[in-house]
Amino acid sequence: MLGFIGLGVMGGAMCANLTRKSGQPVLAFDQMPAAVAAAVEHGARGASGVAEVGQADVVFLSLPSITEVEAVAEELLAAEPRPRLLVDMSTSDVSRTRALAERLASAGMQFVDAPVARLRQAAKDGTLLITVGGTDEQVAELRPLLECMGTDIVHAGGIGNGQVLKILNNMVVFLNSNALAEALAIGRAAGVDPKLLFDTLTLGSADSFVLRKSAMATMVPDEFPEKMFPTVYAIKDLALALRLADEAGIPAESARRTMGLLERTRDAGYAQNYYPAMIRVIEGRA
**Closest CA relative to residue 82, chosen from 112, 52, 41, 126:** 52
Output b/e per residue, 48-68; b: 16+ Cβ within 10 A. eebbebbbbebbbbbbebbeb
Positions marked active-site: 166
Distances in Å between the Cα of 83 and the Cα atoms of 48, 54, 75, 77, 202 are 16, 5, 11, 8, 47
Cis, peptide link before residue 33, omega less than 30° from 0: no
Q: Where are the alpha helices (DSSP H) in the chain?
A: 9-21, 33-41, 50-53, 66-78, 94-106, 120-125, 136-146, 161-189, 194-201, 209-210, 216-218, 231-248, 253-265, 278-282
Please name the amino acid found at residue 229: F
197 close to 243: Cβ distance less than 8 angstroms: no
Q: What is the number of other CB atoms lying within 10 angstroms of the CB of residue 106?
A: 8
Contacts of residue 166, Cβ cutoff 8 Å, sequence gap at least 6: 91, 115, 116, 117, 131
Judged on CB neighbours under 10 Å (0-12, 13-18, 19+), 127 is middle
Tell me the β-bridge partners of 116.
Answer: 130
- CA–centroid distance for 38 within its chain: 20
